[in-house]
Structure 1
Amino acid sequence: MFVSPAHRKVFEGVASRHEMYALFNRHSQAPFDEKRIAGTRYVGEWFEISEAGYDQMFEILPPLFYRGDMFAMREFLAASVTSVFFALTIDDRSRWFHGYCDLSDRQSPDTMRAEIIARECRPVRAMNAREKLDHIWSTTGPDFRGYADSRFPADLRNRQIVLVYPSAQGKIWKLLDDLTDEEIAAKLPVQFRLLPETIAA
């Protein structure tokens, strides 16, 4: 039976055209392992885009399917994983989103749609710890992020790493998941540093 990974917002705010394409490529440095080949590295990730970005993607190719407030790209990213775009009304406001769905699960687009609406209907703007790390990864340039290689113990390889600059050591590569609160704050944009933290669903 198919079990979908958790749905995750990987970028806070509305992605510009440039940011949207960078987010499409946020795993371009990932090793060609089973997770990438099968598409599970991508499934469940989503972010907000502009109406212009939504319209542009709709016009690239005839969609694989078009259903009211969503359409899927005809070209698959990996295995049965493809981009699904959503045009949603949330709190009486039109908004647009992109997410990666595994279409081997026929309910995947509807489940993601429900997850996006639930996440974006929160009465207070907030980010959980995972969202902060995903935002940092999404906005860090490829020269300053990567995947753990032979410099790391075997059990840590292929995990996400970023450059940090501790005052006493110059610069070092560190696992994304091991960033301290101070390092996270330093890497987040100023406007996100003081957002309240929520517990991931």
Structure 2
Amino acid sequence: MTLQSSVRKIYQGVADRRQMYRLFDRHAQRPNRWENDDSALFAGEWFEIARAEHDYMLDLLPPLWMREEMFALREFLTESVTSVFYTLRIDSRTRHFHAYCDLSQPRSPVEMRDAIINRESWPVKAITHEERLEHIWSATHDEYRGYAGDRFPPEYRGKRTLLVYGPGRTELKHLDDLTDDEILAKLPVHLRHLPIRAAA
């Protein structure tokens, strides 16, 4: 399975409660689920939520810890990765975010906070190529996404796949192999024409 390692925005827009729960485990179909340490798969993922969802999660269980602008969930997703929720002031607006932080790295919640503020402070509304792919993966229903299995060559196994529809065909493709036209077709209309920005 392809493991992620960088900080990455995985959903464009503000996730409602249903979307938030879907995004919590958007890798539910990963092979050998629970048999491996999947920390690298989740650590670094973040998305925006509404205040109601932030407050709901704060009231759900006593936090593991709480600081001025963030709190961590007591229940860990993996051995060292847990949810951290943020309330951040960005461009004179108070906004709320969820991120998976690896607490085996003590500065990860602070570094995540800084990365979110940096990303959300871009002067021009834009989206990176990687963010387009992550949004597509996050927004696609489980029945239409998965991981490459035994029918793929060994070097492709475990990589993320999507069903792609074209004239007279349905094809299972690796997420990273989508063409520009296929990416545009899978993005919601309001994201299609945003300029592509190179990842920092």
Q: Counterpart of 1:74 in 2: which secondary structure?
A: strand
Q: Counterpart of 2:41 in 1: which secondary structure?
A: coil
Question: Number of residue pairs matched?
Answer: 197
Judge conservation of contact 1:69–1:87 (CA < 8 Å) in 2.
yes
**Alpha-carbon deviations, 1:35-87, whole Å to 9, x = none?**
95241100000000000000000011100000000000000000100000000
**Alpha-carbon deviations, 1:73-131, whole Å to 9, x = none?**
00000010000000000011000000000000100000000000000000111110000
| Counterpart position of 1:107 | 107
TM-score by length of 2: 0.95
| Counterpart position of 2:14 | 14
| Counterpart position of 2:184 | 185
Judge conservation of contact 2:5–2:41 (CA < 8 Å) in 1.
no
**Runs of 4 or more above 6 Å deviation:** none
Cα 1:15/1:35, change in 2 over 3 Å? farther
User: Does 2:43 correspond to 1:55?
Assistant: no
Amino acid of the residue matched to residue 57 of structure 2? Answer: M
TM-score by length of 1: 0.95
| Counterpart position of 1:98 | 98
Q: 1:122 & 1:115 partners in 2: Cα distance?
A: 11
Amino acid of the residue matched to residue 174 of structure 2? Answer: L
Unaligned runs of 5+ in 2: none
Unaligned runs of 5+ in 1: none
What is the identity percentage for the equivalent residue pairs of Structure 1 and Structure 2? 51
Judge conservation of contact 1:36–1:42 (CA < 8 Å) in 2.
no
Superposition pairs of residues 87-166 of structure 1, within 5 angstroms: 87-166=87-166
